[in-house]
Structure 1
């Protein structure tokens, strides 16, 4: 592994002095040199005041370390998220299997049950993500998943609508910290350009949960009973137990941060910290203490607010697809058994899963995210037009593939975008929590846009989805134009004059307001 000093702004190189009398242009073996450790230490910066990295990493060594991190982190969080999402979404499978009839649901009871989940999810989103930072992700994420699994298991024993609403409220509380917590956790390990693709490797579990959840529910329904439980109750019991089992494994496998990873050598720990730190302008520590100034910077960053609004609009469409797709399947295949109907909901989610990984992969190679928001909207708009303009259920079934191919990918892309456009760990934690909170407001809206009196065509819900996808196109374009315009203004600022007289703490609290900071579209 090798690292060389940056040639830019040589006057600033003193903040990261070459060890042992080395010159500005040298090649240093990271494993045997103190330079990389110096960059990783608390109290030292790894960037100059103009934002450039003061160290350069050997790409081969970095690729080897990144692969090791991938193999040790991604599988566990992906598996956790898969079953947590299944536990959240299986109410749709249970409805087909007779939940509504057994509990005596009428009118808007099903919509209200869905809404209760989103209410607690929204309310606890940011507090849970802050708790994740305070406790440490290595404890918080497995504990949340375990409580989520226990609550899902409890759903198997409800007998009334108020009981199922109470359980769904608790599900929202315990899942509130999982998606943003994992996104925040992964931002501790990966560079800006790498993050979207790594987020996609666990967020892809959402569409896969739609596919695998349908298959799993079909298989479970084939069982005569499970410990005395029948029909839809078996789904909640078995899937809840699996989630609890995976969470127990996660307590062992997840580690808070690179410095505590037993599967990294001391040199690799320093390397992992330094490469993340090298992208954070003016930062002396990668993991800072929770600070009100930086917390507010994360929530009220213009890019956080714009991206979170886009995710809200997108989630209305994503959740609308989840509500409408089973209706389409039942309209086409009404003569089929419930198990067979479950299987027909699988293919659109498989297509969605493929694109959820493919688009962030391209984003990683390009180090761009905003353009994919813009490109995703037209396909969703066409799909919504097909829902509205045709009564042929086969055409509508085809439209679900178009929407799934673009809507699901905005999950990893928006979280990576808000993470890339703040500096400190606290701001990143708050930005990701804000983005996912806004997305779940979209889910809450969607739950009341597909109402029983509008069935089976759901003109109101599909009309709303067309409006939201069109607005995604408009807002995404405007935000991109603003970012480029503001970057031009920032390049004209006098960095030295604006930073003169400020303490290191004051400089770090500037976060994205640092005069040398540039938005990353």
Structure 2
């Protein structure tokens, strides 16, 4: 959408004047909410649409190709990656583990840098770095080299939490609007699974790309696309509403008032960094409880990303490599649909906990089928059950954490903590499907069944404590000193 079209999406209602004094919070509380409501839902819907069109396509495409660059090693494996590099035994799992160790260590520091530098250029810069490291993977010759390149995941360590912070810090969106907006870019992980397999199949039809062949083309071509998107993002992303060229002055003021109206306890939307606030964001009970749930979920989600082609090969060993690649696509399409629908429901009813609970039974059923059946079509159907709800827990988790901290600094560390735990789950997932456990992968399927059950129990127990304890120790809002 061009600038002229965006300018036509204007909000006609004049917002109340934004106060900048000690009485700001009370003034917004008394006039902001009523003023915004008086503007009407149509005007607010236009403002939301304008923000969605300007913010979400850029971050969604960046996350799509960063996730493709992360998971394309699974597609490369089918195309001879292990044989050409000389990987044997557990070497492949080791290569995956190196990725996650770097990722986990740099998660929180990266999001602190994101707040300090501003998410607009920081997210673009680290996406550029990760695209370059992906291209570098196309030239590796042995295990040591591929492990060294995978260490450069320090660039991508900040992409997911950085984008989440960019949106979740609610520089633009209210709490009730977050889960659905997060799903619109987190669903790119699902699209990456579907599109990644399709793209890898198309790439493998080429004879060569700049002298590179087979799996090396996958890393090179997909990395070049990421680099191109990152460069474009430098010119399109903005740090906050007040610097957005595509918002009018009235709209900028209204966006700020919308956020202030629901954050009465916060003195300022973008506060200065403080060690105490950072620690309170990390050790918020909601942050820790939700982090554990997200970690369990990520064992399944990341396992699907890395091992879906391997699982499909174990189900249909007689199919060609390209057919196996294409069979990984449909489960992700189904998952993408439900990943949008579940957060959409969350937005409309302004509830997250109950949806996290009802999402887990299908995952449990899917892995029970994997363990109980050896029939190819039945096992393939189980992948649809697992993918349908596993990915939707991510945006719900991030939105849940954001809704339970007040200061921007605490929010940045809380989001990074949740994503860090999710990648601890990713690290565990790299050892969930090991060679000696094929073709039925009882250890991996059993582990995922246990973690799905753990998610259900943990979320249910947390909500039970909330119901019986009015103090709500599990859901207590920490303002991070704000």
> TM-score interval w.r.t. the shorter chain?
over 0.9
Mapped partners of 2:26, 2:362: distance in 1: 41
Mapped partners of 1:52, 1:420: distance in 2: 21
Mapped partners of 2:356, 2:405: distance in 1: 19
Per the TM alignment, residue 377 of structure 1 is displaced from its structure 2 partner at its CA by: 1.1
Partner of 1:5: none
Mapped partners of 1:138, 1:322: distance in 2: 28
Sort the Cα spacing of 1:390 and 1:42 in 2 relative to 1 into closer, same or farther, 3 A. farther
Q: Does 1:469 align with 2:448?
A: no
DSSP 3-state at the match of 1:203: helix
Per the TM alignment, residue 339 of structure 1 is displaced from its structure 2 partner at its CA by: 1.4
Alignment of 1:26-425 (within 5 A): 31=14, 35-38=16-19, 41=20, 45-47=24-26, 55-56=33-34, 57=36, 58=39, 59-170=41-152, 172-187=153-168, 188-425=171-408
Mapped partners of 2:233, 2:262: distance in 1: 29
Mapped partners of 2:424, 2:31: distance in 1: 38
Aligned residues of 2:73 and 2:306 also touching (Cα < 8 A): no
Per the TM alignment, residue 332 of structure 1 is displaced from its structure 2 partner at its CA by: 3.7
Unaligned runs of 5+ residues in structure 1 are 1-28, 494-506, 512-521
Aligned residues of 2:316 and 2:376 also touching (Cα < 8 A): no
Per the TM alignment, residue 43 of structure 1 is displaced from its structure 2 partner at its CA by: 5.4
- Matched length: 462
DSSP 3-state at the match of 2:318: coil
Per the TM alignment, residue 462 of structure 1 is displaced from its structure 2 partner at its CA by: 0.9
- Considering only CA atoms, is the larger Rg found in Structure 1 or Structure 2? 1
> How far does the alpha carbon of each residue in 1:117-147 deviate from its partner, in whole angstroms, 9 at most, with x for none?
0001000000000100001010100001100
Mapped partners of 2:21, 2:421: distance in 1: 34
- TM-score by length of structure 1 reads 0.85
Mapped partners of 1:481, 1:508: distance in 2: 24
Mapped partners of 1:449, 1:508: distance in 2: 38
> How far does the alpha carbon of each residue in 1:48-88 deviate from its partner, in whole angstroms, 9 at most, with x for none?
89x88853212332221111100100000000000000000
Partner of 1:478: 461
Partner of 1:15: none
> How far does the alpha carbon of each residue in 1:402-452 deviate from its partner, in whole angstroms, 9 at most, with x for none?
000010001111001100111111111111100000000001011112111
Unaligned runs of 5+ residues in structure 2 are 1-11
CA-based RMSD: 2.0
Which segment is superposed worse, 449-458 or 399-408? 449-458
- TM-score by length of structure 2 reads 0.92
Mapped partners of 1:331, 1:475: distance in 2: 32
> How far does the alpha carbon of each residue in 1:71-121 deviate from its partner, in whole angstroms, 9 at most, with x for none?
100000000000000000000000000000000101110000000000010
Of structures 1 and 2, the one scoring higher in RCO (CA 8 A, sep 6+) is 2
Mapped partners of 1:304, 1:446: distance in 2: 22
